[in-house]
Structures are given as C-alpha cells and as structure tokens.
Structure 1
Amino acid sequence: MTQCARLGYGTRLEGWDVSDPAHPSRRWSRPLTNNAQFAYLAFRPDGRLLAV
C-alpha cells in the first residue's frame, strides 16, 4: 500500500491509500485539536506510524 497524509481543511488529518492514483481511497480521518494551517508529517519506514 502506498500512503499519503494531508490536512483536511485545517480541522482533520486524513490518511489515504494512493496505490492506484486514479482511485485514491481515504483510510482514516482524525479530528485536530486546533485549527492548523500546516503541519510537519512523516511516516515511519514501515508505514505503520505517522508522526505529526
């Protein structure tokens, strides 16, 4: 699985499976506690942990 994470409108952090770029699928979504305009994100090499 190829993963991508993004901020969704400053209120949610979303994780996406982009294995098929023509049909990405959202895998998870979590609320943010503040109205973030940007964040630094990094996946662990095995893809099982996202640092924010």
Structure 2
Amino acid sequence: MQAPAPARLIEGGLPTEATVAQVLVSKCADHLPLYRQVQIYARQGIALDRSMLA
C-alpha cells in the first residue's frame, strides 16, 4: 500500500510549489524577464515554453 501523493498547487500540473515560487521571485523580485528564465532553465536541461511560465 502506498500513501496518496500530496496535492499539487496546480491540479493535474507538473510544477511544484517550489518551481512556481522560483519563477515568481525571479520575475518580481529579481526583475528577470520570462524569456531569460526560459534560457536559464534550458541550460539546466529543462525544456519550458515561455507561455507555460506566464
């Protein structure tokens, strides 16, 4: 028997609370545009579309 997984911030979505928090802090506090965040994630091997971050 396996315990149920914790609820996600976005029901049925892949991003965790930490991912959403990172995007918001980078955009609002660090003034980092979404296209630059996409480039940073791409260097780490994570393929994201800018519309997904918006």
Name the TM-score, length of structure 2 as normaliser.
Answer: 0.27
Report the structure, 1 or 2, having the larger strand content.
Answer: 1
Rg comparison, structure with higher value: 2
Return the structure number with greater relative CO, CA threshold 8 A, min gap 6: 1
Report the structure, 1 or 2, having the larger helix content.
Answer: 2
Name the TM-score, length of structure 1 as normaliser.
Answer: 0.27
